[in-house]
Structure 1
Amino acid sequence: MSVPSHLLADEKAPVCRLEIQPHFDNLSAKEKLYAHHISKASFAGTRVVLRQVSPESEPLFDLILTVARHVENDFSKIVEACNVTEDEKNKFAEFGAQVLANLGNYKSFGDQKFVPRIPEETFTKIASITPEAAKLWEGIKKQVYQISPEGITLLGYPPDHMSAYYPDSPAITQADIEACGETFVKNGVLVEHTRLKQLDDGSFDMLVASEKVGEGSVYETKDGRKIRTVYGDHSKEMKVMSDELDGAKKAALNDTQEKMMEEYVKSFREGSLEAHKESQRYWIKDIGPTIETNIGFIETYRDPAGTKAYFEGWVAVVNKERTKVFGKLVERAGDFIPKLPWSKDFEKDKFQKPDFTSLEGNDGIPAGINIPNYDDIRMTLGFKNVSLGNVLNAKSPSEKVTFIDEKDLPLFERLRGPAFELQVGLHELLGHGSGKLLQETEKGVFNFDKESPPVSPLTGKPVTTYYKVGETWGSVFGATAASYEECRAECVAMYLCPDREILEVFGHTDDTEAAAEDVLYISYLQMARAGLLALEFWDPKTKARTTF
């Protein structure tokens, strides 16, 4: 069976260099040590991510590194050693680079599988370069090239699609997953750091990421099936993380960071998400740090149920000059939020001014981040925003700009950075940072006037629904929760970016080199182009998006 072109690994993919050296060089020895330990802890999560993508991702990762070590990273040696052509060698290297960049054989943005551009026989010849690589390849070669049934090429609910959040569970269904989800909500169980395994008798193991190994509470679904709590998923990796974060604790730059690291360690050693929530409370209180970081099971985009999160860890250096701009936006947030097209009843009683920093970080992280995602913490303590300056400005010299008219191209090239910074700043602070969930916080207690509820700006009538006790955004909206929230934040950014006062906060007026009207024009042009590029992630056969 021939492989459809959209499933083939990228050819000559653009590579962007992220500049951070000057910022890192300015750190003190203690700051560098603090960053070093957190970086090591983050990298220890590599295999956790691989295991959250597909069963073949981790052995494929090992195979690529085994070959690279054997040829001492000189892939030209493969040509003679394996009797392959220069083109075949290049295609193997490009596939390997894509696996390493995505930490798996499914795109980290798009959730679609990609397969090598070389035949299976050629890949087998290259893998035979060492006995270790050959053995790894023998166990996964069918999965790497598998594209049928078609659903297996997309992450989603098993058994029709691929999801490693439900390992060794060939018979598990969406109904099974939802039944367990209802049980977890009913019992107040946090599942972001878990995976779910169905046993032969139809019962389940909830696999908890932790250094400790053992069993915990047992729950029961509505139809009487048991769910057993099993600690020790990724135990080896969680120990390495905990040990490194212990080192970061010793190098912490203040008491708040020390307590934050202490809670991270407790969370990863014991499998306690309550400890992780406590770490996030300290993180919010760590205002204006030189080194910014976060680590844990954070975003739920890739779990089809929208409740289990993938691991991520990052550490970055604050860019103090750009941070001043975002600080001005934070100070004026109380002036800008009321301009949104809904009443104050849909906003928090008091806007918690967050820390908003511009960072210089390493690869694999987005242009902007707004966390924590725990609703109860966001409602009471608030959140923090970060903007990754070197990611915002990263551009490959070989990148071809599509869908932009020739007459707009010079302006687009010149202002795409400032326009994207405007969009990301508004998206993160006033998009994710605005609004509140109407909730029954505990039985009979509401965070809004239940007898005289807010009037919907869409219907003109009082709202009739709200979140019940134990319900969260993710548990209610499931797989669409993340995309829904991202679209909401994006719409807020597009709604507010024409505001002249906001444009001036970012340094754009009629008299500046990056003129306000031009930046606004490129902001909308950039969003329109993003919409066209997003069509790549629509699968007409399955009638589904391949990303959220």
Structure 2
Amino acid sequence: MNLSYLLNIRKKLTRNLKKVNKYQKKQINKFTKKDQSIDDKYFQKDTKNVIIFLKEVQGINPLEYQAIIQFLLQANKLYKLDFLKIKTLITKKYIIITNKHKQINQQINKEQLQRIMSVKKPFISDKSPIMSVFCSQEFNQLSDKEKEYSYNFSKASWEGAKICYFQKSYEAPALFTILQLTHSGQSTEELRKSAVDAGVTEEEFTKFLYYSAGVFNNCGNFNSFGDDKFIPELSPASFQKILSSSHNYKQYKELIDSLYADIQPFIFGHEGRLSKIGYPPVEGSTGYYSGNLTKEEIEKLDDFLKVLNVDTLNTRLVKFGDKHYGVLVASVNRSKTTHYYLGEKIDLIYGDYSPLLRRVSYHLEQAIPFSANKNQEKMLIHYVNHFNNGDIEVHKDSQRVWVKDQGPIIETNIGFIETYLDPRQVRAEFEGFVAVVDKERSVKTNYFVSKAPEFLKKMPWPSDFEKDSFLKPDFTCLSVLSFGSSGTPLGINIPNYDDIRQEEGFKNVYLGNCITSPKELLFLDKEDIELKIKHFPAVIYHKVIFHELLGHGCGKLFYEGNYDAENIVNPLTNEKGIKKCYKPNDTWGSVFKNLSNPYEECRADSVALYFSTFKEAYEVLQPEQVQHWEEISIACFLEFVYQALIGLQFYNADDKKWGQAHINGRWVILQVLLEAGNGFVEIEKAKHPEDANKDWIKVKVDRSQVLTTGKEAMRKFLLKMQVYKSTADIEAATEMFGNYSKVNEKFLEIRKIVIDNKKPRRIELQGNVFKDFQGSISYKTYPETIEGVIQSYVERFPYFDKEVVDLWNEYRRVQKPSL
């Protein structure tokens, strides 16, 4: 597809132009050059975004015109004159494109055009299954004191979770406010009736409910797993009708209209940088960095923070103007100091999220009298001091105490923890959780912990590459009571601070009530599907336990002075002496940077898969499954191959990037297994066994080679991963991991089949903890319906939160990305 083709389109559109009045013709004829802009005031009245227009005219304009617009827009060759002509042909109205598209030198070929045309719009399906995460039985067994403790920590977690909206995207806090006001004004059924009376169809209203649930579930309009955008599956006009049908609309009309007018293009826009989390202003958008910042400016500001010895974890960055920047530090207390660095003015501003963190601190203070022991009391005090002052070192103190709080009935943690959401992976998303121990299962996991040193000896690397001593962590199986963040994991291994992990230890938790068995699987043979479903609980239990305890807990980092640099033999080269290592102020994350998360998740998963081939693993962890251990091992390999294949939907083919660290890691493991050869794992494009006209995927895992070819492939790969990690060999690790992360043309074709057959994601439904006027604390569950999900969030956040709007307005001018 070349420029001459585009010019032919231009001619065709011009020839077909009809019924244009004299004034319009006069204006159009002024523009003879393709790059002239339109400055006439007549055209400036309509400033809707191009993306929104495409959504509005869906089903009105012929597909060929929509494809033309999408192609020209993607190619940055959509000029205002073309758009005016197309708009006239379709709706007889005019639109001004607010952003000036720059020409790019590269030509978009036919395959790229087909990819643009074939992309499905990212909706939250109204067929999405509802997955309940309830904890009624466990909660009812708690003492009154334990219920008070869990209630206050739950409140702190959910109030803090509102921070996640600010971290997700520019529009997310305003979107939360709009949806919260809309749903909290009346019951869902009353809102449905009002919306239908206003002209909205029942189907449109249901799709609105699923979109709302998606926003609440993910703390924004980007999926927490994959970081991809989702948009409403209804028109902007119908969306507006539902908003105006709410009882709260009368009282908050001006606010709702103002917020919706501002963020509507970001709600419905899903092309280009609006479609994903990424560095501004070109790659994508994120709440961590204002839309006018560049990647180079972000790196410079982070270098400045290193000079000041200020941690990046709980910060955001904004650009106020030319050579004027702001570093926003999350804290209750507010202060501002101005610095000058390399010719730039930088304001260090404490007090980001202050109103929200004030509530977090308040509820944590309320929990202190109900602590089970002195460790919990000290931990809570550290939490409060950290949130008040924003000092990450104080949060590290809380984690030092936390790892000493062994075997509590109620397990908790809170803070800025995981960095997956940040494109730079140095800024952390807020999370807080409360969970109740599963005593029976925890006995098994703690027995496994006692045997961990024996498994460490079976690692593929020499003992010199293992930690000097294994700091036995606490490992508990829990049922989630409250998880306030943008998504609930299956297992957790924290703290993430390298110095604490190396010197003082860590904890592992397995969140058992977050797991549901699959009911339908694709692409595998019938026998493999039956085996995978049969052993799914055992596979996931093995996978999470080994991933968290040994995967994240094993391996030594070489620092100057903590290893014998002259005499250690490199097992990859058999040469004596290892010179590469971490410097005194280095951390795993600071050296491996963006590679650190996918690399570490891949390493932890690889440990789990490797040990699935050891009978001893089942004898210790799941003795009741020993007679089936070989079948479970096969099912483990099927699980990793299947998850890697399904994970292709998270690969961005245009940017050639993976949208999620865990999926990237699983894809790398799949490539290792394919590379092993011998026909061990084979994946090919095929025809559907029941429909010869439908493309399908044939997946084969040779069961007879799991304990031989599969085990040896994982052994060799794990050895490389650990040596590169231990020796801070970022160059070798980047080359190896980068090559395995690639998706070739064959798998791009397979990716299309995966996307065409992908199943809706689950929507999570958590219960709520309440305290009545008499001080009685109760736990409430909800119907496993979309209405139940909405009700759970309305009762969790029942009142309009003006401070969320005020916080959003505080940096609204600089945060807003350009369209």
TM band (smaller chain): over 0.9
Alignment of structure 1 residues 290-301 onto 2, 5 Å? 290-301=409-420
Match of 1:377 among 497, 500, 506: 500
Once the two structures are overlaid, the 10-residue window that deviates more, 196-205 or 247-256, is: 196-205
Q: Secondary structure at the match of 2:456?
A: helix
Q: Please state if 1:535 is matched with 2:648.
A: yes
Alignment CA distance shift 1:259-1:437 (3 Å): same
Alignment CA distance shift 1:463-1:203 (3 Å): farther
Alignment of structure 1 residues 202-213 onto 2, 5 Å? 202-213=323-334
Q: Please state if 1:263 is matched with 2:379.
A: no
Once the two structures are overlaid, the 10-residue window that deviates more, 353-362 or 192-201, is: 192-201
Give the aligned partner of residue 456 of structure 1.
570
What amino acid is the match of 1:273? I
Q: Distance in 2 between matches of 1:220 and 1:266?
A: 29
**Overall identity of the aligned pairs, in %:** 38
Alignment CA distance shift 1:437-1:49 (3 Å): same
Match of 1:487 among 579, 593, 602: 602
What amino acid is the match of 2:539? A
Give the aligned partner of residue 141 of structure 1.
264
Give the aligned partner of residue 199 of structure 2.
83
Deviation at 1:8, TM superposition (A): 2.5
Q: Secondary structure at the match of 1:360?
A: strand
Alignment CA distance shift 1:177-1:128 (3 Å): same
Deviation at 1:436, TM superposition (A): 2.1
Asked if the contact 1:37/1:247 (under 8 Å) is kept, the reply is yes
TM-score, normalised to structure 1's length?
0.93
Gaps of 5+ in 2: 1-50, 56-118, 662-819
Q: Please state if 1:120 is matched with 2:236.
A: yes
What amino acid is the match of 1:532? L
Give the aligned partner of residue 734 of structure 2.
none
Deviation at 1:236, TM superposition (A): 0.3
Q: Please state if 1:503 is matched with 2:591.
A: no
What amino acid is the match of 1:449? D
What amino acid is the match of 1:295? I
Match of 2:275 among 150, 153, 156: 153
Asked if the contact 1:360/1:389 (under 8 Å) is kept, the reply is yes
Q: Distance in 2 between matches of 1:475 and 1:160?
A: 24
Q: Please state if 1:315 is matched with 2:434.
A: yes
Q: Secondary structure at the match of 1:199?
A: strand
What amino acid is the match of 2:256? A
Give the aligned partner of residue 395 of structure 2.
276
Asked if the contact 1:371/1:385 (under 8 Å) is kept, the reply is yes
Alignment of structure 1 residues 51-66 onto 2, 5 Å? 51-66=166-181
Please tell me the root mean square deviation across aligned C-alpha atoms, in Å.
1.9
Q: Distance in 2 between matches of 1:354 and 1:388?
A: 16
Q: Distance in 2 between matches of 1:521 and 1:6?
A: 36
Q: Secondary structure at the match of 2:305?
A: helix
Once the two structures are overlaid, the 10-residue window that deviates more, 532-541 or 407-416, is: 407-416
Deviation at 1:6, TM superposition (A): 4.8
Q: Distance in 2 between matches of 1:201 and 1:511?
A: 66
Q: Secondary structure at the match of 1:44?
A: helix
Alignment CA distance shift 1:184-1:65 (3 Å): same
Give the aligned partner of residue 363 of structure 2.
244
Give the aligned partner of residue 349 of structure 1.
468
Asked if the contact 1:34/1:252 (under 8 Å) is kept, the reply is yes
Deviation at 1:511, TM superposition (A): 6.0
Q: Distance in 1 between matches of 2:126 and 2:283?
A: 26
Give the aligned partner of residue 791 of structure 2.
none
Q: Distance in 1 between matches of 2:214 and 2:194?
A: 18
Q: Please state if 1:182 is matched with 2:334.
A: no
Alignment CA distance shift 1:447-1:224 (3 Å): farther
Deviation at 1:304, TM superposition (A): 1.2
Gaps of 5+ in 1: 441-445
Alignment CA distance shift 1:510-1:356 (3 Å): closer
What amino acid is the match of 2:523? F
Once the two structures are overlaid, the 10-residue window that deviates more, 173-182 or 67-76, is: 67-76
Q: Distance in 1 between matches of 2:266 and 2:526?
A: 43
Q: Distance in 2 between matches of 1:66 and 1:547?
A: 32
Q: Distance in 1 between matches of 2:383 and 2:558?
A: 30
Q: Please state if 1:401 is matched with 2:513.
A: no
Q: Deviation string for 1:192-248 (max 9, x for gaps)?
A: 0111112213232211111101125x5554x33243321100000110000100011
Q: Secondary structure at the match of 2:457?
A: helix
Match of 2:213 among 74, 77, 97: 97
Deviation at 1:116, TM superposition (A): 1.0
Q: Distance in 1 between matches of 2:171 and 2:624?
A: 53
Match of 1:195 among 316, 319, 339: 316
Asked if the contact 2:336/2:348 (under 8 Å) is kept, the reply is yes
Q: Distance in 1 between matches of 2:288 and 2:538?
A: 42
Deviation at 1:67, TM superposition (A): 1.4
Asked if the contact 1:356/1:385 (under 8 Å) is kept, the reply is yes
TM-score, normalised to structure 2's length?
0.63
Deviation at 1:409, TM superposition (A): 2.8
Asked if the contact 1:67/1:133 (under 8 Å) is kept, the reply is no
Alignment CA distance shift 1:271-1:87 (3 Å): same
Q: Distance in 1 between matches of 2:130 and 2:333?
A: 40
Q: Distance in 2 between matches of 1:182 and 1:439?
A: 22
Once the two structures are overlaid, the 10-residue window that deviates more, 138-147 or 244-253, is: 138-147
What amino acid is the match of 1:492? V
Deviation at 1:474, TM superposition (A): 1.8
Q: Distance in 2 between matches of 1:29 and 1:509?
A: 36
Q: Secondary structure at the match of 1:7?
A: coil
Q: Secondary structure at the match of 1:16?
A: strand
Q: Distance in 1 between matches of 2:431 and 2:609?
A: 28
Asked if the contact 2:154/2:434 (under 8 Å) is kept, the reply is yes
Q: Please state if 1:305 is matched with 2:424.
A: yes
Q: Distance in 2 between matches of 1:319 and 1:166?
A: 37
Match of 2:531 among 402, 411, 421: 411
Q: Distance in 1 between matches of 2:177 and 2:353?
A: 16
Deviation at 1:543, TM superposition (A): 0.9
Q: Secondary structure at the match of 1:477?
A: helix
Once the two structures are overlaid, the 10-residue window that deviates more, 240-249 or 462-471, is: 462-471
Q: Distance in 1 between matches of 2:302 and 2:258?
A: 38
What amino acid is the match of 2:489? P
Q: Secondary structure at the match of 2:556?
A: coil
Alignment CA distance shift 1:449-1:65 (3 Å): same
Give the aligned partner of residue 443 of structure 1.
none
Alignment CA distance shift 1:511-1:199 (3 Å): closer
What amino acid is the match of 1:459? T
Asked if the contact 2:589/2:596 (under 8 Å) is kept, the reply is yes
Q: Deviation string for 1:503-541 (max 9, x for gaps)?
A: 1112246765xx212222211111111111110100111
Asked if the contact 1:30/1:251 (under 8 Å) is kept, the reply is yes
What amino acid is the match of 1:211? V
Alignment CA distance shift 1:6-1:403 (3 Å): farther
What amino acid is the match of 2:540? F
Match of 1:43 among 158, 164, 181: 158
Deviation at 1:395, TM superposition (A): 4.3
Alignment CA distance shift 1:486-1:6 (3 Å): farther
Asked if the contact 1:301/1:482 (under 8 Å) is kept, the reply is yes
Q: Secondary structure at the match of 2:163?
A: helix
Q: Secondary structure at the match of 1:387?
A: strand
What amino acid is the match of 1:315? V
Once the two structures are overlaid, the 10-residue window that deviates more, 185-194 or 30-39, is: 185-194
Asked if the contact 1:419/1:523 (under 8 Å) is kept, the reply is yes
Deviation at 1:346, TM superposition (A): 1.7
Deviation at 1:186, TM superposition (A): 4.2
Q: Deviation string for 1:355-411 (max 9, x for gaps)?
A: 00000004532001000001111111010000011113x247xx5332332223333
What amino acid is the match of 2:315? T
Q: Distance in 1 between matches of 2:638 and 2:188?
A: 41
Asked if the contact 2:517/2:536 (under 8 Å) is kept, the reply is no
